[in-house]
């Protein structure tokens, strides 16, 4: 009787111990699972922290660049005021004197005193002695006029010539105006033109100067165009600038294709192609806006001449251009909220506008890009685009062919290890089948990686067998059998749990991956549709460009239009 009680008690103790071991092993498995989860969370947090830090550094750099640009702009403007502030006063005075001459309400003494005072305060500025010439000429002081004219020509022969050419036209002295115009064209070199020439081209073309000046302009400008277009260098240079201009007009709606942006390995190239394709709409609007902008041609010749003279006397002097260039760059940095790269890119597109001297074709391109910065008007922009139309069309063809040749044929996807590619997203069934095969193969490999229960089974069987052989079915033999059986049970059970966990994990990843794949396929379809739609607009823009002719410039005379037709 006592032997049965002891045996029962001992077995209970062993069972309790085994259950405790089982519980501890389960706790260990749970703890390991928790550690894996914490590791994933830690990895995610570190990645988020790294991204946040990068964003912070970028924002800090932009903020400092913005502050520095604001400070520099203020200092540069102050330097401009100190060094060239009086130039602006002289320019305003020139306009005032011209208006005073028209009305006849300014006395000769006032003109003399004012202009002589300017000579003292602006000793190096060409406009100062020119004003003295004007005042002396009005009061018929020939001696002072000749001396002041010689000094003005000495300081700046070109601008003095231009100034008096315009003044003589304003005062109706046609013979004197034509003589100054002859002198003015002698100054010109089509490879190296001053920035103001485009204004004169506009003035002659719109009829502000007397008709006889047309033939003089025709002779010179036609010769320049023929000369510059004999080599490809000048034309190729303008084509390249227009091609770059086209590239800056595209845009892409932010986060329109979030899945492709995240899972398409060639998204940068896809985005670039679509961005450039989307430029045609903006470009068509740009060119139509140029030609559909109404210009008031009802103004009198006197008012139009005032505008041309104002451009001459108010344009920056060559000495000021370096500082004005720096002011412009810092202004763009401020506009771009401290993004120096974006500001520099815009500045690079404008850099030719600030060139002191350019060739005739470059001058047309400057006026076409931004007439205000190039010192011209919208009227000149229309004329410049009309003349430049042949190489604008060629540049557009080059731009379009370039991005079309670089369009990615495939959208390369990598989704949680699953790699595939699709052309246009119409192969969803095949993609899903490929996806299922991948995850079936992946699951098979993951299951193979699991520890085999065979070792545990072997050890358990060995312990049970030894127990039976050595102790037979005595008390210790029974214990050996139980321990061996428990080891076999735990090994098989743990393997089943690990297998189940692996299947559940892989199945969950497969489901999420399939959802992302379907989303990427949908976005690919939308992407290709949008690209085709936007790319198709290239032909409409090309038709718009090819329809532009010099005749679109409504104020052009028949003689002026003829210079734009290459012989």
Read off the pLDDT of residues 351-363 as tens digits, 9 standing for 90 and up.
655 455 778 888 8
Is 383 among the domain residues? yes
Q: How far apart are CA 168 and CA 436, in angstroms?
A: 86
Report the pLDDT averaged over residues 172-194. 87
Is 97 among the domain residues? no
Residue 273, number of CB atoms within 10 A of its CB = 21
User: pLDDT digits over 249-279, tens only?
Assistant: 877 666 789 999 899 999 989 988 998 998 9
Buried b (16+ CB within 10 A) or exposed e, 79-90: ebeeebeebeeb
Alpha-carbon distances of 151 from 143, 145, 154, 196, rounded to whole Å: 13, 10, 5, 21
Alpha helices in 278-339 (DSSP H): 279-292, 301-314, 321-335
Alpha helices in 373-474 (DSSP H): 378-405, 428-449, 454-471
Measured in degrees and rounded to the nearest 5, phi and psi for residue 565 equal -105, 110
pLDDT of 566: 37
Measured in degrees and rounded to the nearest 5, phi and psi for residue 415 equal -125, 105
Question: SS in 3 state form for 48-111?
Answer: HHHHHHHHHHHHHHHHHHHHHHHHHHHHHHHHHHHHHHHHHHHHHHHHHHHHHHHHCCCCHHHH
Q: How far apart are CA 18 and CA 20, in angstroms?
A: 5
pLDDT band, residue 567 (cuts 50/70/90): very low
Q: How far apart are CA 417 and CA 197, in angstroms?
A: 63
What 3-state class would DSSP assign to 418? strand
Place of tokens 């966990």: 501
pLDDT of 386 strictly over 60: yes
Picking from 27-36, 50-59, 470-479, which range would have the lowest pLDDT averaged per residue? 470-479
Region class of 337: left (phi > 0), else alpha (psi between -120 and 50), else beta: left
* Average pLDDT across the chain, whole number: 76
Is 466 among the domain residues? yes
User: pLDDT digits over 85-135, tens only?
Assistant: 666 677 777 767 766 666 666 666 767 767 777 777 777 788 888 888 888
Distance separating the N- and C-terminal Cα atoms of the chain: 131
pLDDT band, residue 41 (cuts 50/70/90): confident
pLDDT band, residue 4 (cuts 50/70/90): very low
Interior angle at CA 40, CA 34 and CA 41, nearest 5: 90
Is 49 among the domain residues? no
Is 200 among the domain residues? no
Q: How far apart are CA 186 and CA 154, in angstroms?
A: 16
Check: CB of residue 364 under 8 Å from CB of residue 195: no
Q: What is the DSSP letter of 452?
A: P
Check: CB of residue 145 under 8 Å from CB of residue 136: yes
Check: CB of residue 308 under 8 Å from CB of residue 199: yes
Burial class (CB in 10 A: 0-12, 13-18, 19+), 42: exposed
Closest CA to 399 of 235, 233, 247, 234: 247
DSSP state letters, 120-160? HH-TT-THHHHHHHHHHHHTT-HHHHHHHHHHHHHHHHHHH
Is 269 among the domain residues? yes
Check: CB of residue 280 under 8 Å from CB of residue 432: no
Residue 48, number of CB atoms within 10 A of its CB = 10
Q: Taken in order 152, 156, 159, 165, is the CA torsion positive or negative?
A: positive
Is 162 among the domain residues? no
pLDDT band, residue 457 (cuts 50/70/90): low
Domain hosting residue 286, numbered range? 231-299+376-566
Task: Count up the domains in the chain and report the number.
Answer: 1
pLDDT band, residue 430 (cuts 50/70/90): very high
CA-CA-CA-CA dihedral for 381, 386, 387, 388, to nearest 10:
80
Is 102 among the domain residues? no
User: pLDDT digits over 459-507, tens only?
Assistant: 766 666 666 666 666 666 666 666 766 777 667 777 777 778 888 888 8
* β-pair type (193-194, 357-358): antiparallel
Check: CB of residue 471 under 8 Å from CB of residue 457: no
Buried b (16+ CB within 10 A) or exposed e, 504-536: eebeebbeebbebbbbbbebbeebbebbeebbe
């Amino acid at each position: 009787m006592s032997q049965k009680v002891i045996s029962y008690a001992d077995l209970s103790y062993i069972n309790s111990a085994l259950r405790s071991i089982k519980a501890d092993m389960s706790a260990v498995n749970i703890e390991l699972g928790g550690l894996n989860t914490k590791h994933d969370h830690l990895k995610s947090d570190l990645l988020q922290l790294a991204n946040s830090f990068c964003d912070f550094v970028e924002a800090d750099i932009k903020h400092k660049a913005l502050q520095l640009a604001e400070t520099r702009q203020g200092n540069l403007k102050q330097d401009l005021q100190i060094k060239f502030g009086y130039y602006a006063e002289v320019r305003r005075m020139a306009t005032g004197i011209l208006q005073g001459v028209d009305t006849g309400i300014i006395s000769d003494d006032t003109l003399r005193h004012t202009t002589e005072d300017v000579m003292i305060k602006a000793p190096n500025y060409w406009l100062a002695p020119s004003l003295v010439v004007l005042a002396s000429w009005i009061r018929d002081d020939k001696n002072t006029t000749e001396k002041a004219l010689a000094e003005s020509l000495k300081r700046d022969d070109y601008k003095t010539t231009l100034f008096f050419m315009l003044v003589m036209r304003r005062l109706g002295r046609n013979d004197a105006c034509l003589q100054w115009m002859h002198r003015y064209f002698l100054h010109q070199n089509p490879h190296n033109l001053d920035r103001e020439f485009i204004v004169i081209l506009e003035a002659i073309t719109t009829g502000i100067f007397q008709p006889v000046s047309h033939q003089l302009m025709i002779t010179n400008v036609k010769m320049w165009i023929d000369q510059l277009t004999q080599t490809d260098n000048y034309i190729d240079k303008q084509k390249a600038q227009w091609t770059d201009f086209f590239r800056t007009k595209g845009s892409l709606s932010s986060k329109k294709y979030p899945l492709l942006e995240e899972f398409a390995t060639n998204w940068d190239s896809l985005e670039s192609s679509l961005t450039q394709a989307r430029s045609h709409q903006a470009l068509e609007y740009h060119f139509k806006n140029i030609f559909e902008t109404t210009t008031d041609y009802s103004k009198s010749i006197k008012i139009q001449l005032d505008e041309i003279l104002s451009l001459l006397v108010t344009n920056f002097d060559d000495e000021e251009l370096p500082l004005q260039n720096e002011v412009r760059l810092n202004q763009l940095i401020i506009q771009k909220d401290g993004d120096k790269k974006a500001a520099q890119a815009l500045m690079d597109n404008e850099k030719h506008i600030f060139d002191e001297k350019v060739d005739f074709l470059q001058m047309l391109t400057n006026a076409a890009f931004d007439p205000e910065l190039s010192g011209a008007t919208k009227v000149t922009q229309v004329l410049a685009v009309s003349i430049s139309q042949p190489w604008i069309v060629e540049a557009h063809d080059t731009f379009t062919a370039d991005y079309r040749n670089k369009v990615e044929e495939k959208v390369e996807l990598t989704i949680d290890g699953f790699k595939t590619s699709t052309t246009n997203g119409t192969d969803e069934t095949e993609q899903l089948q490929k996806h299922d095969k991948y995850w079936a193969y992946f699951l098979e490999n993951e299951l193979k990686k699991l520890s085999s229960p065979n070792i545990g089974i072997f050890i358990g069987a060995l312990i049970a067998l030894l127990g039976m052989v050595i102790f037979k079915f005595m008390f210790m033999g029974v214990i050996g059998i139980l321990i061996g059986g428990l080891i076999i049970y735990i090994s098989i059970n743990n393997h089943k749990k690990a297998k189940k966990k692996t299947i559940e994990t892989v199945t969950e990843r497969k489901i999420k991956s399939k959802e992302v794949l379907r989303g990427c396929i949908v976005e690919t379809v939308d992407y290709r549709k949008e690209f085709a739609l936007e790319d198709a607009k290239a032909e409409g823009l090309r038709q718009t460009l090819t329809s532009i002719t010099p005749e679109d410039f409504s104020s052009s005379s028949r003689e002026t239009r003829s210079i734009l037709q290459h012989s």
